[in-house]
Structure 1
Amino acid sequence: LKVTPVRQAADLMAIVQADDRIVLVADGLRAGGTHYAAIARPGSPAILVTGDTVLTQGFERIDATRRWGGLAAISQPMVSELAAMPGEWDMMLTLLRMAVQSGARRLYCEPALFEQGEIAIVADRPTAALIEQSSLQQVEYGGMGLGRSAIMMPLVRLAGPLLVKSPNTARYLPYVTALLWIAVALLAAGGLAAAGALVAVLGGLGLAAMRFLSAFRAESAAQDRARDLIRTFALLLLALFPWLVALAGRDHAMPPFAQAALAPCLAAGILLARALYEDMGEKRRFHWLLPDADQAWVMLAPALLFGIAPLMFAILPLLALLQILLWLRLARRPAAS
């Protein structure tokens, strides 16, 4: 993204075309994507306006009862007109007044949005810190699954400010996460099944952190593929986990039938849940109920520590099917109006 600073209308005229739309943003404004999308919609110039209240006193007055909401879309001829005007003018305010005088469309937003922090002016560090924390808490869980929604993402969001602080985190996290899952395979092959399951929980945290960071940074296709590859390897590892543990043992024997058959069934149930989740499209609801690999590893780790893994491998596929059936029943109910 190329950034070109402009200090006067003539500088702006040099970089805009006749059919360009220019968005004016108040200094320090923080607003949601829906507000930018509404302003940038093709059509005539537009101004975001709000009520004249105590919370909006810092914005330019539009008329007797309205103030500017911090966003406006103008056209190139307005910039050309300003550039032709003699003398020095405040570029932002003058262009805003030109838009008002030209009868630009007014898009109204409630003053309550300023009280709730959805639209705000970042004037100092404490305000910026509060807005950052609010943004971190509003990030979507990013996918289906009880384990991710109830355990992994809440833990990741607690560390959110540290994760987004440095770009190096997003750069090195895929490598760390991949190494964790390789360690799971090596521990299982070495006969340390319980230790492998515990490291798998950390690997699940790594995948959740990668998904969390993708909400704040533009991901390349390679980064997206890397996350999918690690997730696929983790699911394959879950399906083959009893085989790795048994074949790496002293007798190099096949695992008990229950574990050998039910572990792949569990992985297949999780794949089925993901396919159903993706087919729902924009109407996804109650997706936190669905089974996922994080839930399986969290339940398997203590079972392996206390020697009840066969029982847990029998329970988990049945529990996954029960979760899917419950989700199907709830998700197909009409949404409350």
Structure 2
Amino acid sequence: MKHLLLAAAAASLVLPVHAEEPAPVPSPGEIAAAAPAGDWVSIAPSDLLVMDLAPDAKGNSRRVVIQLMPAPFSQGWIGNIRRLAAAHWWDGTSVNRVQDNYVAQWGDATEKKALPEGLATIPESGYETSRIAYHGQPGSGGATRRLLSAPVATDAYSSQAGFLDGWPVARKKDMVWPVHCYAMVGVGRNMSPDTGTGAELYAVIGHAPRHLDRNIAVVGRVISGIEYLSSLPRGTGALGFYEEEAQRVGIEKIRLAAELPFAEQPRFEFLSTESDSFARYADARQNRRDPFFIKPAGGADICNVPVPVRAVGAR
């Protein structure tokens, strides 16, 4: 027995020592899901535009929820959009243009429906603003909002791209503007100097058309139901317009969420872009280290860092 114990002890000396397994590297989604409650920002019902499309062929409802952009961006158009929603102007209109890898657009296809009185005419200067203080701006002082560093060293369309109050933006010198990423909502217009009223809106359903930045007003983003727009049949007319009335997708109604009964108001919140959680999330988006990936990219386009948004229960 003594010899057996000695042999076992000797054998244990030559067994390999297994190091503790490294902690798994979280994915961007896992980082966002683990963010504490204090890192999430509630979206006011007055900032949500709710669009109910006609049911699909199987009778399923189709609801699209749009978050309107905060000040100082595009407020002239957003004021018009609020007025249009209050007047129930979009009820009975349609999605009348779906262009592959580009946009889905809605409004009055006949262009004959009278607009509500009091809509503002907004100049082209409203596409961008200088009324932004950001960290690093000379003379900005300490009380500034943070424009995060760009996920890539350079942005092809600006000097710097980052996030402000939960939104992707770009800047050049002292001018800042919102950018066209997937699911962003913009204002359709005719030729310059027309800037559109907000009655014609579109959502980006393809690769980010950043060439539209500062040429068309960006007024919000789809935060729920983008699939109901991106999966629609493509229009066969010029620019993806539907050539026949029967092809158009009817809009039952569009309302500000605050106008809906309290129990029916959708509730959403977004991950604060000034939080440490978002900083980790953005880093993980530009340098994927979770097990599937072999080589971190070392950067990401601004539109490849979508701000996490989640639905929450009733208050």
For this structure pair, what is the TM-score category when the shorter chain's length is used for normalisation?
under 0.3
**Higher strand content, 1 or 2:** 2
TM value normalised by structure 1: 0.21
Q: Which has the larger radius of gyration?
A: 1
Q: Larger RCO: Structure 1 or Structure 2 (Cα < 8 Å, ≥ 6 residues apart)?
A: 2
TM value normalised by structure 2: 0.22
**Higher helix content, 1 or 2:** 1
